[in-house]
Structure 1
């Protein structure tokens, strides 16, 4: 794209900041623009209204109409003598409207304003059972949602906060900013500035875990005595909280273990289409399969639930995954639409040696 003058170049870069991101050369240019206070004030105002404007009809995007709504609101805030200076970025308005909508909604199921907390509207993005979802958040951070997972955040996310709630499993690649990025799970909160990490916090699992790929994260939770405990993770480290009883999902019912020297890339390979397990029982593995393929798994033999597995398998069809399971353990299966039944294969049972949990 050819840009003809300095003002147009500024707003071309601003467009990319809000949508696709900058390359290394452009990032260097953007850093120098931080000394241009007038431009930064205008950009902050644009960024604010874009993130907060809840009247944009995302289901039927009309760039000219949508931009006019934003432009009119902004021009009410910008003094008349400065409006001529700000005009060059108007030609990029339609591009920004479309690109922001596309980058934010690709592959996702979004429900806007279904819940409210006080005067704040919440946005919920969900990956239903049987699918995964990738999203770019308003602050340009990226999130991969695993099957049967969702995140929620309010209308000020990326403006005066970077706070969201997670149910299920997600991989976060967080853009570094001064405002902390905080993810609340039912058990604890993960706080970062800029990093890449994975959180697994399904309500029906016995374990809640956070794995760090790069950067630093703090795990914050409340002890049974009411004190705040903070545990810090470094790359290739993992926090596993294991449930001790059937009580509510609070820290008092969990034991926290800090693991070091793990293979973080393997731990997060689910987002790249792998099914990885390490010393997991068939009961735990069955839950993963149920979420990934949107099925219900039934056990004819309770003993099967205790068999343990370690390995990595490409997420192929349901039948292919179950066949791989039957080749490594005495398991037979039948599939009836969305119902899967597992039973022991008596003829191969004596050949199977269960892997014990580490």
Structure 2
């Protein structure tokens, strides 16, 4: 029991030091004594490294008490014999929880990072970063590359990222500004891998969309996918080009069925990536597709009264204002009326203005 309390005390002090909280005289003496504990110093150095990489994480969404208890049960994989303390209730606990989250073990099914860090039978600690519906997140990765995660997106990478691999798995949408290195930077989506050395590009791979899109801003990217015969096919992109995988067999689980691949050249890549700068941009998208985007951005549910509206198509860019302001702008450019009931939006056709709007139907 004494050893149990001693480990608690060490990490209680470490969390206070890293979060900038002051130590009383007794705590200061105990912290100074820990400088001679070589095993603890090795563990503390690892935690401190992750702490210093937290600038882009969504602190406001951390539930300190809950997260601290949860992650301490996981962090034991990296900091043996350490157990959670029920007494950690001070204001700095919120930051302590963030420390633990960054080194916690989070195995989640369905993803397996490629490359040497994920060999057959290997089990690796994963860092998982999420941008929930209604929010965006900017993250600086361990290799100093920067990622913007769009709403309802998840990014994961293992503990060897930046050491012997730069492999990540993405679900949702993200913009990557990659630091150049001889070590390839690889993003795995459910349909294909995107490999680069140093560049800026955008990947959109939402489970509820019928297309997966990669857009290149500058540099070059290599798209690698397995065809139906199991052979690897490669698509190279240059700046202001994008590859789109269209699902041609509707229904069934996400990312299943057949896909048709196209490459568009001479596009406006800045338009495609404007979301990270607070713009809502659409390029020939149907109202149904736009509705899905609005659901993610504003964390709402949109219902249609009638199928006709779903085929209206839009092109343009609008600053991400309040939900009501965006819907009003939509109603000014098309025969769309709306009602908002808390987190539910209902769209219906405004027949009084239908004749003033020339809809562009799907080919």
Whether these two folds match at TM > 0.5 is: yes
* Corresponding residue number in structure 2 for 1:352: 357
Confirm whether residue 241 of structure 1 aligns to residue 245 of structure 2: yes
Say whether the 8 Å CA contact 2:207–2:255 is kept in structure 1.
Answer: no
Aligned pair partner of 2:171 in 163, 167, 174: 167
* Corresponding residue number in structure 1 for 2:123: 119
Gaps of 5+ in 1: 1-54, 77-92
Aligned pair partner of 1:208 in 208, 212, 223: 212
Local SS of the residue matching 2:55: helix
Local SS of the residue matching 1:131: coil
Aligned pair partner of 1:185 in 172, 186, 189: 189
CA–CA distance in structure 1, aligned partners of residues 210 and 15 of structure 2: 43
* Corresponding residue number in structure 2 for 1:338: 343
CA–CA distance in structure 2, aligned partners of residues 189 and 294 of structure 1: 29
* Corresponding residue number in structure 2 for 1:303: 308
Residues 300 and 272 from structure 1, CA distance in 2 versus in 1: closer, same or farther, beyond 3 angstroms?
same
Residues 70 and 158 from structure 1, CA distance in 2 versus in 1: closer, same or farther, beyond 3 angstroms?
farther
CA–CA distance in structure 2, aligned partners of residues 75 and 106 of structure 1: 28
* Post-superposition offset of 1:351: 0.9
Aligned pair partner of 1:316 in 301, 315, 321: 321
Residues 250 and 346 from structure 1, CA distance in 2 versus in 1: closer, same or farther, beyond 3 angstroms?
closer
Residues 344 and 163 from structure 1, CA distance in 2 versus in 1: closer, same or farther, beyond 3 angstroms?
same
* Post-superposition offset of 1:113: 1.5
CA–CA distance in structure 2, aligned partners of residues 185 and 306 of structure 1: 28
Q: How does 1:1-358 map to 2 (within 5 A)?
A: 60=15, 62-63=17-18, 72=38, 100-103=52-55, 105=57, 111=101, 112-115=104-107, 118-246=122-250, 247-248=252-253, 253-356=258-361
CA–CA distance in structure 2, aligned partners of residues 58 and 235 of structure 1: 50
Say whether the 8 Å CA contact 1:188–1:219 is kept in structure 2.
Answer: yes
CA–CA distance in structure 1, aligned partners of residues 215 and 192 of structure 2: 14
Residues 164 and 277 from structure 1, CA distance in 2 versus in 1: closer, same or farther, beyond 3 angstroms?
same
Say whether the 8 Å CA contact 1:115–1:121 is kept in structure 2.
Answer: yes
Alignment size in residue pairs = 286
CA–CA distance in structure 2, aligned partners of residues 56 and 156 of structure 1: 24
4+ aligned runs moved over 6 Å, structure 1: 55-59, 68-71
CA–CA distance in structure 2, aligned partners of residues 97 and 207 of structure 1: 38
* Post-superposition offset of 1:251: 8.0
What's the RMSD between the two structures over aligned residues?
A: 3.0
